[in-house]
Amino acid sequence: MGESRGGGCCPPMDLMRSETMQLVQLIVPMESAHLTVSYLGDLGLVQFKDLNSEKSPFQRTYAAQIKRCGEMARKIRFFKDQMSKAEVLPKELLEKESDIDLDDVEVKLGELEAELVEINANNDKLQRSYNELMEYKLVLQKAGEFFSSAHRSATAQQREIESEDSQQAGDDLLESPLLQEEKSVDSSKQVKLGFLTGLVPREKSMVFERILFRATRGNIFIRQTVIEEPVIDPSSGEKAEKNVFIVFYSGERAKSKILKICEAFGANRYPFSEDLGKQAQMITEVSGRLSELKTTIDAGLGHRNVLLQTIGDKFELWNLKVRKEKAIYHTLNMLSLDVTKKCLVAEGWSPVFASNEIQDALQRAAVDSNSQVGSIFQVLRTKESPPTYFRTNKFTSAIQEIVDAYGVAKYQEANPGVFTIVTFPFLFAVMFGDWGHGICILLATMYLILREKKLASQKLGDIMEMAFGGRYVILMMSLFSIYTGLIYNEFFSIPYPLFAPSAYDCRDASCSEATTIGLIKVRDTYPFGLDPVWHGTRSELPFLNSLKMKMSILLGVSQMNLGIIMSYFNARFFKSSVNIWFQFIPQMIFLNSLFGYLSVLIIIKWCTGSQADLYHVMIYMFLSPTDELGENQLFPHQKTVQLVLLFLALVSVPCMLLPKPFILKKQHEARHQGQSYAPLDETDESLHVETTGGSHGHEEFEFSEIFVHQLIHTIEFVLGAVSNTASYLRLWALSLAHSELSSVFYEKVLLLAWGYNNVFILIIGILVFIFATVGVLLVMETLSAFLHALRLHWVEFQNKFYEGDGYKFAPFTFIFTANEDE
């Protein structure tokens, strides 16, 4: 196949046809399997087929290893989590470091994890007691405040009431003002009040109070104080807003209820002494222990950070290794085990050109793993359709992406991407012709290209990512729009006499600038593009419209012709003469006898300067072909030519429709007969027939289906010839919209602001102009022109020949695994 590509009509083009693929079978001895797959992954040119698809993941050969890798990946995730919490950055992987053993990594990871977990547990314990003490301190402070304030008011009151009770005051310090009345009324039946202090989460505090109230039937007294800063909860370790509470109760039953409720609400209780001296002592004690714990915790954290730092040094290396291993085992699981259990059998697609490299990799693997037997590499014959693989570089890949977004090419079918490289930016530029805007886009994309290396390594936003991926397409688009902009002679909608002064000039001094009459041709025709003198004249629009409209049709017809010619190359490549005679030729005749003829008329009209009405010519060519053309005649014998063309077009329609299904049917019958009665010794040949026949070999041949399919195809083409040509008029429409918009912004914003002769207004005008130009013209218009160019390629161009029902070659490679992020 490789030779046929080189020796055919066209020179070898990597992008035109996808790589020739082969189904290879590798028989690898068990001991070198791992290394083989690893080397093939480095090579990245083999797409393994899953030979165990009927087995569930854990029944496969290497399920245990995958579990191991999963476990290691979990540990690595744990480290990553811990490192990001401690703000330790893993060291960048600078170069490929020496090979490390997976077992070592596993042991090392296990050790480190255990160590880290232990340190964490210790730290947590310390942190918890630290937090508890912290809370305790708060309780001591807040409750102390409460008691002292209560005490102050109580003593003040008491002093007023009675002075002999003073020896009791020491005991009943806690008797807050609320209880004072009760006491004064009924001092003989004094009940010893108990109290509890603690912290309760703020959002639960209201419910807490309510439940306490209900549970004790109101026989409690509760006070809460808000703690301003959030407190770290000892049990969860998270910051929480809390209140200090103090509850007074009477009786043991109430106490047990309150305790239960406290527990239920996650309210931490702390002992509290009524004695002021003891309180002060507690506070100092707690503060002392707090500072002690603080130093211990800091030491622990330091230790932990050192550990994380050592992990961070090797982190990327391990991460890469584990991912690679996991990928390797997943691939190994796709191989089938030989009956003898001594070797693995792999099947996969690979490009033909890679055969040597693959064999080389196999050999190296066999040598490196000290295997006694080498691996066997053989090519299998198959009827399966191989995957499509284009070798793209960073320039062509974006274009190929555009084509693939529509559909991946069938194996070895002509790739529209080749032409898209040029036609896509060109059609874009036809709609976006302005060399000022073109330069702006060029500068933007040059920035992306020049900083390519730096930008490629970092993560960009969604939209930026897209712009970056298509930077070379955008480069082409900007270059072409500078080119078309020069032809349209527009620089932010202003024409410049760049190449020569305008060919026309005023006849005399009286003629003003903005009129058409009175101009005479004084020099040679303007050498390149549009004469700037057209700008601002009354006939500017009719002239430009007519020009661009006709140009659109010319471009459209030529691109559609190119599409049909591509179908010829496809037919030749797949050796299908039916498609040449009954698809390519009638399509060619049909399109060109109608719209090709129109194109010819346009060119004749341009060359001769005739006044003929082309609409009229085209319409009456169908309505009354025999009528005289009159003043619309462009060349002699035009009527006869038109009659012939019309006849050809009419004849070509049944040619497209009828013969192909019948011929296919006949071919199928012939093949079937040949097969069923073939002598035994010709099996090789019949096999060959089968393979060239592709997957159709054994399929049922449904004539009605084929016929209906052909009918649809024909109708689509005939109607499509008209509608697609009309569709190309979007080139004119968008180009018009673009130039009109930009001239509106220039005249109605910039010139208007200029007219005021006021610096302030001028600055505002310039700002508005810049934002409108960037926002509307450079971003929105680029997008819309891009989409229309995309449509013209996907629909109008590619439906002439492109099947796009293939599938992409997805080789097993490590580059992808390394870049992929979770």
Only one of the segments 146-154, 208-216, 222-230, 414-422 lies at the binding site for another protein (rule: CB under 8 A); that segment is: 208-216
Query: Closer CB to another protein, residue 265 or residue 707?
Result: 265
Gap between the Cα atoms of 821 and 761, Å rounded: 51
Query: Closer CB to another protein, residue 75 or residue 548?
Result: 75
| DSSP state letters, 259-310 | HHHHHHTTPEEE---S-HHHHHHHHHHHHHHHHHHHHHHHHHHHHHHHHHHH
When asked if residue 337 is in the footprint of another protein (CB under 8 A), the reply is: no
* CB of residue 70 to another protein, shortest distance in Å: 7
Query: Closer CB to another protein, residue 63 or residue 439?
Result: 63
**Beta-strand pair 47-48/376-380:** unpaired
When asked if residue 207 is in the footprint of another protein (CB under 8 A), the reply is: yes
* CB of residue 267 to another protein, shortest distance in Å: 11
Gap between the Cα atoms of 612 and 633, Å rounded: 7
* CB of residue 332 to another protein, shortest distance in Å: 16
Query: Closer CB to another protein, residue 206 or residue 280?
Result: 206
Of 749-768, binders to another protein (CB under 8 A) are none
When asked if residue 110 is in the footprint of another protein (CB under 8 A), the reply is: no
* CB of residue 48 to another protein, shortest distance in Å: 19
When asked if residue 257 is in the footprint of another protein (CB under 8 A), the reply is: yes
What are the Cα distances from residue 64, in Å, to 67, 71, 330, 333, 753? 5, 11, 11, 11, 75
Gap between the Cα atoms of 376 and 25, Å rounded: 8
Query: Closer CB to another protein, residue 260 or residue 672?
Result: 260
Q: Which two tokens stand for residue 60?
A: 């496969």
* CB of residue 77 to another protein, shortest distance in Å: 6
Closest to 271 (Cα-Cα) out of 173, 168, 131, 133: 133
Q: Single out the residue of 1, 2, 42, 67 in contact with another protein (rule: CB under 8 A).
A: 67
When asked if residue 204 is in the footprint of another protein (CB under 8 A), the reply is: yes
3-state secondary structure 737-767: HHHHHHHHHHHHHHHHHHHCCCHHHHHHHHH
Query: Closer CB to another protein, residue 23 or residue 261?
Result: 261
* CB of residue 405 to another protein, shortest distance in Å: 25
When asked if residue 775 is in the footprint of another protein (CB under 8 A), the reply is: no
How many Cβ atoms sit within 10 Å of the Cβ of residue 339?
Answer: 8
When asked if residue 251 is in the footprint of another protein (CB under 8 A), the reply is: no
Of 6-65, binders to another protein (CB under 8 A) are 56-59, 63
Query: Closer CB to another protein, residue 60 or residue 660?
Result: 60
Q: Single out the residue of 91, 152, 159, 260 in contact with another protein (rule: CB under 8 A).
A: 260
When asked if residue 211 is in the footprint of another protein (CB under 8 A), the reply is: yes
Q: Which residues contact 1 (CB under 8 A, 6 or more apart)?
A: 20, 352
When asked if residue 265 is in the footprint of another protein (CB under 8 A), the reply is: yes
Cα four-point dihedral sign 322, 323, 326, 328: negative
When asked if residue 261 is in the footprint of another protein (CB under 8 A), the reply is: yes
Q: Which two tokens stand for residue 48?
A: 């393994």
* CB of residue 49 to another protein, shortest distance in Å: 19
Q: Single out the residue of 104, 186, 263, 285 in contact with another protein (rule: CB under 8 A).
A: 263
Task: Answer for the pair 219, 211: CB distance below 8 angstroms, yes or no.
Answer: no
Q: Which residues contact 203 (CB under 8 A, 6 or more apart)?
A: 241
Query: Closer CB to another protein, residue 253 or residue 278?
Result: 253
Contact pattern for another protein over residues 164 through 203, marking x by CB under 8 A? ----------------------------------------
Give the largest Cα separation in the chain, rounded: 140
* CB of residue 537 to another protein, shortest distance in Å: 55
Gap between the Cα atoms of 599 and 346, Å rounded: 57
Of 69-88, binders to another protein (CB under 8 A) are 70-71, 74, 77-78
* CB of residue 465 to another protein, shortest distance in Å: 24
Gap between the Cα atoms of 120 and 69, Å rounded: 24
Any idea how long the chain is? 822
Element (H, E) at 25: strand 21-29
Gap between the Cα atoms of 157 and 320, Å rounded: 77
Interface with another protein (CB under 8 A): 56-59, 63, 66-67, 70-71, 74, 77-78, 204, 207, 211, 214-215, 257, 260-261, 263-265
